[in-house]
Amino acid sequence: MNPVTRRTFLRHTALAGAAAALSARSWAQVAGANSDVRLAVTGLNSRGKSLLNEIRKLPGVRVVALCDVDTAVLEPTAKTLGGDVKKFVDYRDLLAAPGIDAVVIATPNHQHALQAIWAMQAGKDVYLEKPVSHDLWEGRQIVAAAAKYGRLVQAGTQSRSSPAIAEAIAWVRAGNLGRITAARGLCFKRRTSIGKTTGPQAVPATVNYDLWLGPAPMAPLRRTRFHYDWHWQWATGNGDIANQGNHQMDVALRFLGETELAPRVFTAGGRFGYEDDGETPNTLVVVQDYAAAPLIFEVRGLPARPDASSNVAIGAGGSSAAEAAAGSMDKYRGISVGNLIHCEGGSVVVTADYSVAQAYDREQKLVKEFKGGASHAANFIEAVRSRRPSDLHIPVSESHVSSCLSHIANISYRLGMATPPDELRDRVRAQPALAEAVGRMLDHLAANNVDLGKTPPAYGYPLEIDTAAQRFTGNDAANALLTREYRAPYVVPAIV
């Protein structure tokens, strides 16, 4: 970034403090109340492409700018919009440009917090893909920035805008199926090996690697596929518990009526079935031990059995590839990705498209069905126009907590120790919810011919959490993983 752009950007962020003092009415007069809402989208692969297609259909919205560090992605995407859409490789140049009311951020996880905070400092509202942060501390900084600058932050957890799910939650919490005994989320989603490199890989010539890394360390590329597979490396991603599980754990939280972190977390799992450059677990059981009922989350990346395997990982191909991969997976009560809410008088199943929820009695007879979906992005635009944070279907404080459930589970896993299967069963026996899920996990690995003698699962370190302080109790190693070292100048500010 040249000195002029840097000065322009810093001038904008300095002015943001004064802008935050404007009243809601004043902000409505500045942008969006009676004119088009002018949006910029950064991160144009995968989820960013989907969001762009959805946003373009909304009335009263204009996409005026695009940003991506890969010109091979940026240029063809810009051509589809035509007109005078502005193009940026450096996100800071985008924020310094005039005529942008809000930013849609769909970059890799490690960029989310910094780009959201920079946008708020520059006077922009933010639609931020999940997880909203790469670690817990970053999420706290996002919440603080939204409060300081008076900006709207909508997390990309689309289930929050589903009438079906909202009605099912109200119906269950009214006691129609008795007390909730457990809230379960599932991510049984095929993930094949990302390959094993023997040395640093060439970064695509069209990519500005410094900008892509941003806050992450300047390290050689060690994966064969540049895009998407960053999900499975700790420096940039958080694994499937955050990639998909953020959605399901958010649904589970809402059924439980919880808005804080759980006081305890337990995990078990590992990366099984192949040796590759991936680091995050492809098989994981998590219990967030809430007082009223446990929140259980399960990840499986291997198929139901080896001969059911698809050679195409979800995220790599089209819908037919995704369907083939999904068909190879285990199912729990008929679902491979979604939620199951266990109650004294029955259960509720929530599908992965978030538009249907079904209530069953104890005999598995369907007693009530809830249907209806809605645009989550449209809800964000409504709030941008009204200037009322209460109009957002997910408060920024709750999107922070939903994301952090992934982070604290990953910390437990990363601090865990390899444990032989029989010993693992003994360790979890006193925790029924964990023991039941771990037992099924071990059976699933056996069905995939995984030699757990050679690659034993990790029993995650049991962690206790001070929910008010959002820190671990008496565990310095765990608390050290609540944040990361940042690479200048891509530093999430300690004082926003």
- Residue 323 has a pLDDT of 65
Q: Please, are residues 457 and 421 in contact by the beta-carbon 8 Å criterion?
A: yes
- Residue 83 has a pLDDT of 80
**CATH label, 3-159, candidates 3.40.605.10, 3.40.228.10, 3.40.50.10470, 3.40.50.720:** 3.40.50.720
- Residue 322 has a pLDDT of 63
Domains 3-159 and 163-372+396-480 belong to one CATH topology:
no
- Of the CA atoms within 13 Å of residue 307, those in its CB half-sphere come to 0
449/295 Cα distance (integer angstroms): 29
Its CATH architecture, for the domain 163-372+396-480, is: 2-Layer Sandwich (3.30)
3-state secondary structure of 466: strand
Burial label, 192 (beta-carbon count in 10 A; 0-12, 13-18, 19+): buried
- Residue 496 has a pLDDT of 96
Q: Rounded mean pLDDT of 150-162? A: 97
- Residue 82 has a pLDDT of 83
Which secondary structure element, helix H or strand E, spans residue 465, and what is its range?
strand 463-466
Q: Please, are residues 239 and 102 in contact by the beta-carbon 8 Å criterion?
A: no
Is the omega angle on the peptide bond into residue 294 within 30 degrees of 0, that is, cis?
Answer: no
% residues pLDDT > 90 (the chain): 87
278 closest CA partner among 213, 227, 348, 231: 231
- Residue 16 has a pLDDT of 43
Q: Rounded mean pLDDT of 33-42? A: 88
pLDDT value at 386 more than 90: yes
120/288 Cα distance (integer angstroms): 32
3-state secondary structure of 38: strand
- Residue 28 has a pLDDT of 39
What's the pLDDT tens digit per position in 94-137?
Answer: 999 999 999 999 999 999 999 999 999 999 999 999 999 999 99
Q: Which residue has the tokens 């809800």?
A: 379
The residues spanned by each domain of the chain are 3-159, 163-372+396-480
Q: Rounded mean pLDDT of 351-368? A: 96
Q: Rounded mean pLDDT of 146-150? A: 98
What's the pLDDT tens digit per position in 174-193?
Answer: 999 999 999 999 999 999 99
pLDDT value at 268 more than 90: yes
pLDDT band for position 419 (cuts 50, 70, 90):
very high
What's the pLDDT tens digit per position in 192-230?
Answer: 999 999 999 999 999 999 999 999 999 999 999 999 999
Mean pLDDT score across all residues of the chain:
92
What's the pLDDT tens digit per position in 5-20?
Answer: 445 444 444 444 434 4
